[in-house]
Structure 1
Amino acid sequence: MEETMEYSESIENIDDNNDVSAAVDEDDDDDESEIKTTAEVLTEVTNAWLNEKFAPEILQHKSEYVDCLLLQISHMEDNIKKKLTSNDMRLFIYQQEIDRIRYIVSSYLRIRLLKIERYVINILKEESERNEDERLLTPAELQFAKNYAMNMETLLKSVVLQHLPPTLQEFEIEKLAVSPNLHAHVIMKANKKIDGVIIPGPTDEEVDFEEDSVHIISYKAISHYIKTGDIQLI
């Protein structure tokens, strides 16, 4: 993604005030928002996209970064139109990069929706047990999951159950729950030196990761470090 970052930094120079920093509220309990540049927000969204793409389970949403990035892209497009003519070669380069960023965002959101559809019953059960500020889904995603589960249940009842004898029409949607395979192997990169990672197994082997080292490992063994940002899936 080095090329993406270089283009993104070039796009930032298009801004009228040469300042595309944006406030990102990462902690609801903190009144102060962290200020990040567009390039930094893009890095956050790209990392979230890769983690979501390769993790077997749905992860904590990053809607604050996605919304911030889309807003910045809109500002960039406005400034590009104001400052560059249609025959300026830079227009093609900037627009191509913006299209790539939009692809990352749409792919990230699409992956999350696919996971919601696949594990909807399991996800809704776990979300109901979390506090509102601990939920993995955005309010819109949560509503989508509820509607999807309701429509799935309605379809099964109308297409299948109503044609069965009354004694067989009892239906528990929980029995259709599918859980992600948390023991699936993933490729990871350590963002920092990490000592004492326990690999679940007969002997619970303990391993250390050097910074920037790459490993193939069970997702369950390192899921915590992905959520803290110490490990990146690739």
Structure 2
Amino acid sequence: MSSLAAEEEAITASEVLMQLEKAWTNEMLAPELLEAKPELVECMMEQLSEMEENIRRVKKGDFVASLHQLEIERIRFVVASYLRTRLKKIETHYVILLEKSQKLLSVDELAYAKEYARNIEKLFDGLALRRMPSNLRNLDGDKLAVMPNDDAYVFFRVLRRCNEVAAEEDEVPVDLERGSQHIMRYRPVASLLADNSILLL
């Protein structure tokens, strides 16, 4: 049983899937890497194994088994897309993540980011750095760093009322009502996304 299941025994597989789908949507649409949800992925992978085991027991050609197999493929796609999206962001922003935001990474993602950084350094060294004068051989992390675009606009739905949100620094703050939808720059709503007050669309 996963740590998520142990902590919340009442949570169902469909609720875990809903939470994972939310995390996937937010991850795809946010310009920065969001906090990892390894417990959701682990729980869903365990559920997939159980579903596949149950399908093996059903007669071949059974229509219900075919529907379950389609659902398994859909869930696998969500999990794979979520992980692929995170890896792409890690590869793009690895300098910033390793220097300032390691807490956003799962244990496996942190190991991957460190290995990726080592490989990039070896690549640069092999292609160019060793042929350059010694005073130019150091890789400057600040120059390699790719910052997420916090000024990108995002479209979102409000999941719970948010008070005093200012879209721009010089604008009057407004209250965002539950169920309303808005387009704003990412920076002022990043904290609302982190505490699950909004869902990106």
TM-score of the alignment, normalized to the shorter chain, above 0.5: yes
**Which of residues 168, 192, 195 is equivalent to 1:225?**
192
**Which of residues 117, 122, 125 is equivalent to 2:96?**
122
Report the equivalent of 1:71: 46
Report the equivalent of 1:150: 118
Structure 2 unmatched runs, 5+: none
**Residue deviations 1:108-165 (CA, integer Å, cap 9, x gap):** 000000000000001100135xxxxxx1111110011011111111111121112223
Report the equivalent of 2:152: 184
One-letter code of the match for 1:224?
A: S
**Alignment partners' CA distance in 1, 2:150 and 2:93:** 13
Report the equivalent of 2:72: 98
**Residue deviations 1:84-131 (CA, integer Å, cap 9, x gap):** 211211111110011001100000000000000000001100135xxx
Report the equivalent of 1:113: 87
**Alignment partners' CA distance in 2, 1:64 and 1:166:** 46
Q: Is the 8 A contact 2:96 2:146 kept in 1?
A: yes
**1:58 maps onto 2:38 in alignment:** no
**Residue deviations 1:144-192 (CA, integer Å, cap 9, x gap):** 1011111111111121112223343343233211110111101101112
Report the equivalent of 2:183: 216
What is the root-mean-square deviation in Å for CA atoms of aligned residues? 1.8
Structure 1 unmatched runs, 5+: 1-20, 26-31, 129-134
Report the equivalent of 1:15: none
**Residue deviations 1:28-68 (CA, integer Å, cap 9, x gap):** xxxx7112100000001000000100001101111001100
| Structure 2 length-normalised TM | 0.93
Report the equivalent of 2:167: 199
Q: Is the 8 A contact 2:2 2:42 kept in 1?
A: no
**Alignment partners' CA distance in 1, 2:133 and 2:75:** 54
Q: Is the 8 A contact 2:3 2:39 kept in 1?
A: no
**Alignment partners' CA distance in 1, 2:114 and 2:77:** 27
Structure 1 runs (4+) greater than 6 angstroms displaced? none
| Structure 1 length-normalised TM | 0.80
One-letter code of the match for 2:22?
A: N
Q: CA deviation at 1:23?
A: 5.9
Task: Return the structure number with greater helix share.
Answer: 2
